[in-house]
């Protein structure tokens, strides 16, 4: 899943040009309602999607975010899926770690799968990769302790942060997937980053069409992760 260095540099610069409280991964989404696809028959598959604004749906209308798109793809495929969106714009891996247990404990039951997508704000803030790895490892350990399968949606660092940073950061997700026998989608923005027609004006967040592109690519991996449960 290749990504051009220029696109990644755009992602980094788009975040660093703003103050921390207003960076592209830190604002909320709109709230207009969009009808849901009806549930198919069969037992419900409950999925928790815990991440940052790429899950929360920054700049999108209600119902256009990635967890809703995944839910719609699964239901269209005949899977009675409910995807709980626990994306919080601006979350770093440290913030996700702090709220993971609360999010799991407040579900109606143990989920069949956790989609875990954090790291974008870590790289925008240039948090040391060792800290990101420590937070992600702690989350994976907690989810494993509860006996819940995980699908990691990975992040990548831009090359202008240097080869050492990039190598250490990019290795986090495949390393954790291997260690915890988790499913892996290596880069969440694969296929949309750098594509003007699929991105919002900030060049960081996908628009509604871009979200559908990600969902088209990601949904088969979600289906396989559910089958493996």
Residues catalogued as catalytic:
53, 202, 205
Which tokens sit at 48? 């928790």
C-beta separation of 109 from 152 below 8 A: no
Q: Which of 122, 222, 138, 98 is nearest to 170 (CA)?
A: 122
Report whether 211 contacts 60 (CB < 8 A): yes
Residue whose C-alpha is closest to residue 208's, from 50, 25, 61: 61
Q: What is the CA radius of gyration of the chain?
A: 16
């Amino acid at each position: 899943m290749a990504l051009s260095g220029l696109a990644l540099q755009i992602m980094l610069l788009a975040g660093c040009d703003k103050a921390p409280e207003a960076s592209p991964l830190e604002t909320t989404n709109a709230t207009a309602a969009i009808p849901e696809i009806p549930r198919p028959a069969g037992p419900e598959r409950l999925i928790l999607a815990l991440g940052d604004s790429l899950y929360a749906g920054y700049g999108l209308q209600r119902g256009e975010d990635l967890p809703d798109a995944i839910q719609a793809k699964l239901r269209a495929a005949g899977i009675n899926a409910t995807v709980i969106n626990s994306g919080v714009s601006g979350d770093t891996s440290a913030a996700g770690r702090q709220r993971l247990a609360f999010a799991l404990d407040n579900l109606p039951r143990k989920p069949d799968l956790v989609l875990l997508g954090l790291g974008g704000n870590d790289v925008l803030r240039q948090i040391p990769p060792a800290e990101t790895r420590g937070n992600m490892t702690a989350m994976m350990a907690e989810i494993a302790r509860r006996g819940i399968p995980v699908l990691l949606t990975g992040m990548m660092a831009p090359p202008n942060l240097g080869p050492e940073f990039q190598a250490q950061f990019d290795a986090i997700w495949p390393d954790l997937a291997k260690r915890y026998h988790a499913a892996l989608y290596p880069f969440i923005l694969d296929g949309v980053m750098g594509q003007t027609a699929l991105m919002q004006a900030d060049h960081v967040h996908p628009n509604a069409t871009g979200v559908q592109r990600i969902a088209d690519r990601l949904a088969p991996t979600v289906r396989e992760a559910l089958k493996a449960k």
